[in-house]
Structure 1
């Protein structure tokens, strides 16, 4: 969680000069405005191969901008938690994290209420592990995938919004084309989020 908080602070600091430029530009043309940073915290629900786990923590930080507060681009980092399966004295684990880049949209439909959506490409790094007694072995796998999600929320102020969200991440484990089989999986995430707009 501390890593995500630091990432959000760094993203906000990095975007602040651009946000100031956007505000100046908005006074004349209103094109590049509404830079934002969003943090999510919730629960992940794994369906990877034969492994199912609904008990771990989902965390995400995203930053980007929107044209006219409607549609734009985003990038970020997400931790999908760790799923575990116990077979006798053996524990099988999988722990994916991903960098994401995609598009996002937000629509104010009634007063301060809004709906949102986003989706795009992800690059995941998954650590697979097997623990037998006190002996643990791990292997890392890098793969491409995609993500998409929707949310509904409320604009508390002109700069701050709260929302409830559902996201779905399609990840892989293993190296396709090699002697190691590749496993496809989905991780659903249910979360609450806070967004700060510059």
Structure 2
């Protein structure tokens, strides 16, 4: 658990570090001409043109206290919608799928399928021409579906939990409106509760989910 918290803290620290020049420069971004020269091709002084949609696809890796559900080859999918003030920093909302780790002993099987809605802050900073770094962090509300199969048949159960996320990335502006990037995201996931323990035999637990992905972003 301590290792998981350290990884999330490291991701959040990296996100904060990546956002710091964005926040600093944003405070001095009143002159549109200066902004364009300083921040790169993604800047648009018209606030109505700074909305974006971004999608990520990659691999999720679970880190839990027990080896039972450690899973290093899950599918990671994420879609986010947001806005950036002067093309630099602003709010975002999203929806993320964190894979489906499974465990089996040959007689019974347990599968876990977590998904989450997210809300947070994001930033994008062009450090050299079309090249940029990104960062985002925030809160997530997750739904986890459990399916336990054995001699008794199949039991299914859902739980809802809170959590945190943070991530960083690097990429390139292919055009004024379209970008490609590579990303690392970390989700601090909780699942189960006392009720799930009584109904399906799965207690409350925590997992650190690391995700490596490619992304595409369109700004409009």
Task: Sort the TM-score into its range (normalised by shorter chain).
Answer: 0.7 to 0.9
Q: Does 1:84 align with 2:66?
A: no
2:215 corresponds in structure 1 to 193
What does the per-residue CA deviation read over 1:84-138, in whole Å, with 9 as the maximum and x for residues that have no partner? 1222222221110000000000110111110000010000000122122692212
Mapped partners of 1:32, 1:119: distance in 2: 23
Contact preservation (8 Å) 2:197, 2:204: no
Q: Name which of 143, 149, 163 aligns with 1:145.
A: 163
Structure 1 126/48 Cα, relative in aligned 2: closer, same or farther at 3 Å? farther
Structure having the higher helix fraction is 2
Q: Does 1:115 align with 2:137?
A: no
Structure 2: gaps of 5 or more residues: 1-44
Q: Does 1:35 align with 2:51?
A: yes
Q: Which SS does the other structure have where 1:67 is aligned?
A: coil
Q: Does 1:136 align with 2:154?
A: yes
Contact preservation (8 Å) 2:93, 2:117: yes
Q: Which SS does the other structure have where 1:63 is aligned?
A: strand
Residue 30 of structure 1, CA deviation:
3.9
Mapped partners of 1:40, 1:191: distance in 2: 6
Aligned Cα root-mean-square deviation (Å): 2.2
Mapped partners of 2:197, 2:75: distance in 1: 32
Mapped partners of 2:204, 2:118: distance in 1: 21
Q: Which moved more, 1:35-44 or 1:123-132?
A: 123-132
1:56 corresponds in structure 2 to 74
Mapped partners of 2:87, 2:211: distance in 1: 25
Q: Name which of 189, 208, 211 aligns with 1:171.
A: 189
Residue 33 of structure 1, CA deviation:
4.0
Q: Which moved more, 1:139-148 or 1:175-184?
A: 175-184
Larger Rg over CA atoms: 2
Structure having the higher strand fraction is 1
Q: Relative contact order (C-alpha < 8 Å, sep 6+): which is higher?
A: 2
- The TM-score, its normalising length taken from structure 1, stands at 0.80
Structure 1 68/175 Cα, relative in aligned 2: closer, same or farther at 3 Å? same
Residue 165 of structure 1, CA deviation:
0.5
What does the per-residue CA deviation read over 1:49-86, in whole Å, with 9 as the maximum and x for residues that have no partner? 42200112111100010001110000010111100122
Contact preservation (8 Å) 1:32, 1:67: no
Aligned residues: 171
